């Protein structure tokens, strides 16, 4: 019989405290920055879902193509009885893995949104009698304690989200994942790949302006949660390719000199004309780089699957 459990390891007011700390730190430094996780309130999540359907935005389709073609191979490589998904959201893509894991007994989705976890669990359990879902409300970048579930276990981190972490953050994250793996466990990692600059920039600056609205949504979140008076239309959306670091940067650029008040932080922020706030880094990868970063975290790349066009990769890695 199906069973749903939920554990909250994120303190009740941790999200509010983290937002305050990130905004205070990011908008008082030079250059100014804001973490991309604050895009994702209800409206931001809707906008991102719309982005994934745009013709310019290929990563979601490319990753799904791999899962559709390779899920049986992934299942055979892991033999997983527990699937742990970090940043699970709606768990939509995960269904392709769940359907290919005949021995699966437990699914452990990890996300900061309790409502997303409950919604995904309700849908999954309706179709999968006998599956145990143990959802965890947690920030997966802050360290995790997992429930006791049967092995082997497969930790999935899909969507290319690892690219939003800076190199030092990625190293710390991969080391923390390695700490979760016992002998026989594995990591399934989604990474967007380096490709032509024009393709990359279009994916983050679509013709319909959906990504621009998504980028500016962070200002709406700060206005609502911290009483700020940002005027989102006073900023332009910018997407640039950094060839040296091999990542896309999303920024918000002030159209003119601005002063923004954030009462909840007792903060006044000044913007010069053309001054930018970096809101996201999205690193793109090559196989050698993925292999070396995994090796630094004591994991070995054992399988590498790409879509037919070679735009995106799923990596299977095991502990060493």
Pick the range with the lowest mean pLDDT from 88-102, 141-155, 279-293. 88-102
- CB burial of residue 12 (10 Å; 0-12, 13-18, 19+): exposed
Residue 12 pLDDT > 80: no
238 in a domain, yes or no? Answer: no
DSSP code per residue over 3-33: EEEEEE-S-TTHHHHHHHHHHHHHTSSSSEE
121 in a domain, yes or no? Answer: yes
Residue 1 pLDDT > 60: no
Over residues 116-133, the pLDDT tens digits come to 788 777 777 777 778 888
Closest CA to 18 of 226, 167, 201: 226
DSSP three-state, residue 301: strand
163 in a domain, yes or no? Answer: yes
- Cα dist. 98→134, 162, 257 in Å? 15, 22, 52
Within 10 Å of residue 207's Cβ, how many Cβ atoms?
A: 10
138 in a domain, yes or no? Answer: yes
Residue 89 pLDDT > 80: no
pTM comes to 0.92
Domain that holds residue 128: 1-229+286-320
Closest CA to 217 of 54, 50, 63, 58: 50
Read off the tokens for 264. Answer: 């909840």
Average of per-residue pLDDT across 2-27: 84
Number of H helices, E strands in the chain: 9, 14
Over residues 126-170, the pLDDT tens digits come to 777 788 888 888 887 776 778 888 889 999 999 999 999 999 999
Asked if omega into 209 is within 30° of 0 (cis), the reply is no
Q: Please, are residues 190 and 311 in contact by the beta-carbon 8 Å criterion?
A: no
Residue 27 CB-half CA count within 13 A = 24
Closest CA to 180 of 85, 314, 71: 85
100 in a domain, yes or no? Answer: yes
Q: Please, are residues 175 and 167 in contact by the beta-carbon 8 Å criterion?
A: no
Average of per-residue pLDDT across 244-256: 98
Rounded distance, CA 136 to CA 84, Å?
10
Q: Which residues of 275-304 are buried (b: 16+ CB within 10 A; e: fewer)?
A: bbbbbbbbbbbeeebbbebbeebebebebe
What local confidence, expressed as pLDDT, does residue 127 receive?
A: 76
Q: Please, are residues 63 and 312 in contact by the beta-carbon 8 Å criterion?
A: yes
Q: What's the pLDDT band for 7 if we cut at 50, 70, 90?
A: confident
Rounded distance, CA 218 to CA 76, Å?
41
271 in a domain, yes or no? Answer: no
Q: What's the pLDDT band for 228 if we cut at 50, 70, 90?
A: very high
Over residues 295-313, the pLDDT tens digits come to 999 999 999 999 999 999 9
What local confidence, expressed as pLDDT, does residue 146 receive?
A: 81
Higher per-residue pLDDT: 177 or 12 = 177
**Tally of structural domains, the chain:** 1
Identify the CATH number of the domain in which residue 290 sits: 3.40.50.150
Mean model confidence pLDDT for the chain: 92
103 in a domain, yes or no? Answer: yes
Residue 137 forms beta bridges with which residues?
8, 111
What local confidence, expressed as pLDDT, does residue 288 receive?
A: 98
257 in a domain, yes or no? Answer: no
Rounded distance, CA 255 to CA 278, Å?
15
């Amino acid at each position: 019989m199906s069973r749903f459990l939920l554990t909250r390891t994120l303190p009740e007011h941790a999200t509010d405290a983290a937002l305050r700390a990130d905004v205070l730190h990011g908008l008082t430094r030079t250059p100014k920055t804001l973490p991309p996780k604050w895009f994702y309130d209800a409206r931001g999540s809707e906008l991102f879902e719309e982005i994934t359907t745009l013709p310019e935005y290929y990563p979601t389709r490319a990753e799904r193509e791999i899962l559709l073609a390779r899920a049986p191979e992934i299942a055979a490589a892991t033999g997983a009885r527990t699937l742990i998904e970090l940043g699970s959201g709606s768990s939509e893509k995960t269904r392709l893995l769940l359907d290919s894991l005949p021995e699966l007994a437990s699914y452990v989705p990890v996300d900061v949104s309790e409502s997303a976890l409950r919604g995904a669990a309700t849908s999954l359990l309706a179709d999968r009698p006998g599956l145990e879902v143990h959802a965890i409300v947690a920030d997966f970048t802050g360290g995790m304690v997992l429930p006791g579930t049967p092995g082997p276990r497969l930790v999935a981190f899909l969507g290319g989200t690892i690219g939003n972490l800076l190199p030092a953050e990625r190293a710390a994250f991969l080391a923390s994942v390695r700490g979760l793996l016992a002998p026989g466990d594995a990591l399934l990692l989604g990474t967007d790949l380096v490709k032509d600059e024009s393709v990359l920039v279009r994916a983050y600056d679509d013709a319909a302006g959906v990504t621009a609205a998504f980028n500016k949504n962070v200002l709406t979140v700060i206005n609502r949660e911290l009483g700020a008076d940002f005027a989102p239309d006073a900023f332009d959306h910018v997407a640039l390719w950094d060839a040296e670091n091999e990542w896309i940067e999303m920024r918000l650029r002030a159209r003119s000199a601005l002063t923004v008040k954030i009462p909840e932080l007792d903060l006044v922020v000044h913007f010069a004309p053309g001054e930018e706030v970096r809101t996201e880094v999205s690193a793109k990868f090559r196989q050698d780089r993925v292999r070396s970063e995994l090796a630094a975290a004591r994991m070995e790349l054992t399988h590498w699957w790409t879509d037919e066009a070679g735009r995106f990769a799923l990596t299977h890695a095991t502990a060493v």
